[in-house]
Amino acid sequence: MIDKHLLKLRARDVISAEEEAFIRGGVSGSAKVPRDTVVVRAFDPIHTSNILVSGIACRLKDLGNGRRQITELHVPGDFTDVHGFSLKYLDHDILALTDCQFALVPHAHLQEMTERHAHLTRVYWFGTNLDAAIHREWALSLGRRDATARMAHLFCELYVRLELVGLVRQGAYDLPLTQVELSDCLGITPVHTNRTLQQLRSEGVVEFRSGQVIVHDLAALEAVAGFDPRYLYLQRMQR
């Protein structure tokens, strides 16, 4: 169930067989949730964290009145709320954007990990640092990149993150989001999102069609975005 999670961890570090057994042993169950479901509600007390097994989820802050900002997209293999272990509640929602399956990890198991597995603890600490790096990159996009570069950057980031877990095929990946959800990632309105998609399509760079992102020219997409993947910390090394 959590094979993609292990793929993601092993892209950045060496995970021993014993550590893998400990991670697998921590999964207490699974949950299937339909699209548009809040999986973890902001400010609710939490005792379990969720590994995304399939589907697309997000971290979302909501100002009300339809004004909401997605602050990170989660792809299969992500521990969507391991930060909830130390925070005890989240300052944002975790929302299933598509039908999702999650593997559930009780905080008692994470507590045991911090006491018995120093290296794994550092691996998951790295994971929260990586999420913070992604948030910084999104802040940079929202503050300083124009709409076209912002969209191109998001598509580049997802390309790298989905490729790590084997979900990019022939330059394309599934992203079954609506225009409204995409616009909530980019901080622009849906018609502006649609206009920006059309521009990137007409330039032969990338296409967003039927819930799929089809990258026609990855080098051009990266150039439009000003994409530098170093913030995704892709080297495998001892953490």
Contact between 192 and another protein per CB under 8 A: yes
Q: Which of residues 137-176 bind another protein (CB under 8 A)?
A: 146-147
Is residue 55 packed enough to be buried (19+ CB in 10 Å), middle (13-18) or exposed (0-12)?
A: buried
Nearest residue (CB) to another protein, 188 versus 221: 188
Name the residue type at position 225: A
Considering only 95, 167, 188, 221, the residue that binds another protein (CB under 8 A) is: 188
Q: How far is the CB of 147 from another protein (least distance, A)?
A: 5
Nearest residue (CB) to another protein, 17 versus 63: 63
Is residue 99 packed enough to be buried (19+ CB in 10 Å), middle (13-18) or exposed (0-12)?
A: middle
Rounded to whole angstroms, how far apart are CA atoms 175 and 98? 9
Length of the chain, please? Answer: 239
Note whether 45 and 90 are within 8 A (CB): no
Q: How many CA atoms lie within 13 A of 17 on its CB side?
A: 0
Considering only 144, 169, 195, 236, the residue that binds another protein (CB under 8 A) is: 195
Considering only 83, 130, 179, 233, the residue that binds another protein (CB under 8 A) is: 179
Considering only 83, 199, 216, 217, the residue that binds another protein (CB under 8 A) is: 199
Considering only 21, 87, 139, 180, the residue that binds another protein (CB under 8 A) is: 180
Residues of this chain that bind another protein (CB under 8 A): 146-147, 178-180, 188-192, 194-195, 198-199
